[in-house]
Amino acid sequence: MSAAPQTFGDRLREVAVERGRLCVGIDPHAALLRAWGLADDIEGLAEFSRRCVAAFADTAALVKPQVAFYERFGSRGFAVLEETIATLREAGCLVVADAKRGDIGSTMAGYAEAWLGDDSPLLSDAVTVSPYLGVGALAPVLELAEETGRGVFLLAATSNPEAVELQSITDGQGRKISQRIVDEVAERNAAHRAAGRAGNLGVVVGATLAAPPQLSELNGPVLMPGVGAQGAGAEDVSRIAAGVEDLTFPNISRAILKTGPEIAELRNSLVEAAAEFPGFPR
């Protein structure tokens, strides 16, 4: 019997020792393309992505391309995304595709293969998914992550204000929906805890939240948006991630991308921000 693949959580821990725990986004929206002096077209998209790759590939632990900004250009945009993901991964950078997919049955299986399948041109190290059709409906992507040692981040308690009311609704046991999602992920990661490993499955929890879910039993990675332009800082990350800091990866996008278009400036801003979130040697 072949050995189980290294978990995505353990891979994150390893790369964080060298590169820190920062996740940086690649968000080529129209306004930012213009701010960089680029056209809002496929050539501008490709040049924006090339500069981000040059700045981040050998410095960031985790890079998160926002799929929507590529998808809007159709097949040509996806071709740029494929090249961006592949080049980042070849440089030893872990990539989470920010696709936020969520469906049921064979459709979810299709999404799983698209982002985590060995033969997919979009193959990433992890993908974001929405559990609001039920965590169980995500079984195809969760199972493929376990088979391959790749990661899945479930949206649990996001930083956008529109979601707070929905995610704060309680179930029959008095748990908020966001906490129930965290708890279900923790249950799926429990076998890895018993083996002394971090799990493949993680959650997205906003750094701006005043009442976040408890993460102490998660044993998986936490992607934490809201740092930087949205107002949260290192102290907010420490408050929410107390006890699970080694697996918590704050996401900063706008605050770094606004320092472009020069590659050196992008790289310097990333390195400076990552210094606030060092990795933990094991």
Alpha helices by DSSP H, listed for 6-148, are: 8-19, 30-35, 42-56, 68-71, 74-90, 105-116, 139-148
Q: Is the dihedral of CA 171, 174, 177, 181 positive or negative?
A: negative
Whether 64 sits among the annotated catalytic residues: the reply is no
* DSSP assignment letter at 5: P
How far apart are the C-alpha atoms of 10 and 249, rounded to whole Å? 13
How far apart are the C-alpha atoms of 186 and 191, rounded to whole Å? 10
Non-local (6+) Cβ contacts of 161 within 8 A are none
Query: Which residue among the candidates 64, 100, 176, 258 is catalytic per the annotation?
Result: 100
**Which residue pairs from 262-265 have beta carbons closer than 8 angstroms and sit at least 24 positions apart in sequence?**
263/51, 263/54, 263/55, 264/55
Nearest to 248 by CA among 273, 209, 225, 222: 222
- Provide the residue type at 238 as one letter: S
Q: Tokens for 65? A: 């391309």
The set of catalytic residues is: 100
